[in-house]
Amino acid sequence: MSYSIIAKSLLEKEIESLTTLMDNLEHSFDDACQMISDCKGKIIFTGLGKSGLVAKKCAATFSSLGIPSFFIHSTEALHGDLGMVSNDDILFAFSYSGETNEVVHMMSALSQRNIPLIAMTGNMDSAMSQKCTIHLDIHVSEEADHLKCAPTSSTTNMMALGDAISSAVSYNNQFTKNDFHQYHPGGNLGEHLEKQ
């Protein structure tokens, strides 16, 4: 089988997962956007493994769109980095299983400080979904790789939903291209915005 046929099969599965995600957006999406829009502090992203890498990218995207955010590694959080979280912040935790022990432990510690918790998982009955203030469901019927094991469809859904939230909140906050340029003056994009 050719590489391109394999690739098309994977992309078709990921597109199908994204379509299902879009068709099933629920009130929790609006609730999460409103909570983030109302936040007086920062959005603290966390996760481990591939979910952690997606969370790190989302923190960067949120920040560039005018929503102050940063990433904390879940394990490091349990060894002192919880001190980086203020009482005005929101925790946004990523884990497809919703059972990642370090993330659950971090959520438990912050819930004792009444920090609002948003969890993005693929399991409505997980420990994270039970502990959070708002749960965002990114469940997929199967991963898109040939083994149906590697985080592919699930991380694509995570990334897309994170992008959707950041864009919706930024739009609602009337964040402009000029504002964006102030946060992104460098590189080709900064140079392009400078000329506009």
Domain at 23, CATH number: 3.40.50.10490
105, 106, 111, 115: CA torsion to nearest 10: -170
The number of domains in the chain is 1
For residue 126, give its domain range: 3-194
What are the structure tokens assigned to 92, written together? 């946004």
State the Cα–Cα distance between residues 122 and 137, nearest whole angstrom. 5
| Residue 157 DSSP SS3 | helix
- pLDDT (tens digit, 0 to 9) for every residue of the chain, 196 residues total? 799 999 999 999 999 999 999 999 989 999 999 999 999 999 999 999 999 999 999 999 999 999 999 999 999 999 999 999 999 999 999 999 999 999 999 999 999 999 999 999 999 999 999 999 999 999 999 999 999 999 999 999 999 999 999 999 999 999 998 888 887 788 776 667 676 6
- ∠ CA 28-33-37 to the nearest 5 degrees? 145
**Checking DSSP bridges between strand 134-137 and strand 90-94, what pairing results, if any?**
unpaired
Closest CA to 70 of 84, 50, 83, 80: 84
pTM of the model: 0.94
